[in-house]
């Protein structure tokens, strides 16, 4: 694990690292914010999964999360959104919603994707093991994300309730088996068997297995992807039918951008702090 950069921020340290991923078979970069408290003791962490076309730097530079994170004593771990490198498969047409920058947080089973696109295992297993061994971060974890990353956070949290304390998402792709983004990605990465897709669909997971972790979702009502791609009403209905609970907060006038994320990131971090520090 090689440190690429370091910047002082709100008393803490904004860091960027590079490492060779055994799961993804390529070099990966990720960003970490360590609050001031991490200089004296190990701290819990929120893992934030970013959306289509993003890298690990979008959230770190645009969300404005470090001020609240250092107040709460929470680290922020921000991975990249896909494997990277000259030998990593990409969409042949250069589309933004498949291939590089669009890993969808699944374990691909199809060629030419399966050799590198194992983002689910990278987020759940390899990255936490690495940062918890090398940095002053303990094993208390929460997971959050935006758009494609909101989908990833919901799926990973729901499927691994023993590893996370809480889940949150901004503008998540809630029901990817029923929207164009999800259908395109899942067809490529997972093949034509739609039953296999359901293991990476938050709505389907809740319907079949229930839900135990606390969930907070924030969705802007001026989001241009709202009806066709995101379908928050499907998630809201699924949550309402089980005993685990969860809230979907709808916000008038807000869109899909980091202006929206920066407006409500404090609320999400304080939500996670209740459970990380319980």
Could you give the residue numbers annotated as active site? 147, 223, 256
What does each C-alpha distance from 152 to 137, 144, 201 come to in angstroms?
22, 8, 9
Label residue 245 by pLDDT band (50, 70, 90).
confident
**CB hemisphere CA count around 212 (13 angstroms):** 9
Whether 278 shows a pLDDT value over 80: the answer reads no
What mean pLDDT comes out for the span 199-217? 96
What's the pLDDT score for residue 65? Answer: 98
Residue 210, pLDDT > 90, answer yes
Name the token pair of 60: 């770190």
Mean pLDDT on 143-159 = 98
Bridge partners of residue 19, in order along the sequence: 28
Dihedral over alpha carbons 81, 256, 15, 128 (to 10 degrees): -50
pTM (predicted TM-score): 0.97
pLDDT at 198: 98
pLDDT at 244: 82
C-beta separation of 66 from 10 below 8 A: yes
Per-residue pLDDT, averaged over 46-61, amounts to 98
CATH of 1-275, one of 3.90.1640.30, 3.40.50.1820, 3.40.50.2300, 3.40.1020.10: 3.40.50.1820
Contact between 266 and 168 under an 8 Å Cβ cutoff? The reply is: no
The proportion of the chain whose per-residue pLDDT surpasses 90, expressed as a percent, equals 98
Distance CA 274, CA 269 (A): 9
Could you give the count of Cα atoms lying within 13 Å of 143 in the half-sphere of its Cβ? Answer: 27
What mean pLDDT is predicted for residues 220-241? 97
């Amino acid at each position: 694990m090689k440190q690429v950069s370091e910047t002082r921020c709100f008393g803490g340290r904004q860091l960027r690292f590079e490492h060779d991923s055994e799961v993804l078979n390529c070099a990966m970069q990720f960003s970490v914010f360590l609050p001031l408290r991490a200089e004296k003791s190990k701290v819990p962490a929120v893992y934030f999964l970013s959306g289509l076309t993003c890298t690990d730097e979008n959230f770190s530079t645009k969300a404005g999360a470090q001020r609240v994170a250092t107040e709460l004593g929470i680290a922020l771990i921000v991975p990249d959104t896909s494997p990277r490198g000259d030998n990593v498969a990409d969409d042949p047409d250069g589309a933004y919603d498949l291939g590089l920058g669009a890993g969808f947080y699944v374990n691909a089973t199809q060629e030419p994707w399966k050799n590198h696109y194992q983002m689910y295992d990278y987020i759940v297993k390899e990255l936490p093991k690495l940062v918890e061994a090398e940095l002053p971060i303990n094993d208390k974890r929460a997971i959050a994300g935006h758009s494609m990353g909101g989908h990833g956070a919901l799926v990973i949290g729901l499927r691994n309730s023993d590893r996370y304390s809480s889940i949150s998402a901004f503008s998540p792709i809630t029901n990817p088996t029923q929207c164009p983004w999800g259908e395109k990605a899942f067809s490529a990465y997972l093949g034509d068997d739609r039953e296999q897709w359901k293991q990476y669909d938050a709505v389907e997971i809740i319907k079949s297995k229930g839900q135990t972790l606390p969930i907070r979702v924030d969705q802007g009502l001026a989001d241009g992807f709202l009806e066709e791609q995101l379908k928050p009403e499907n998630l809201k209905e699924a949550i309402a039918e089980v005993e685990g609970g969860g809230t979907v907060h709808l916000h008038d006038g807000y869109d899909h951008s980091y202006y929206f994320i920066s407006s409500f990131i404090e609320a999400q971090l304080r939500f996670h702090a209740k459970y990380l520090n319980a």
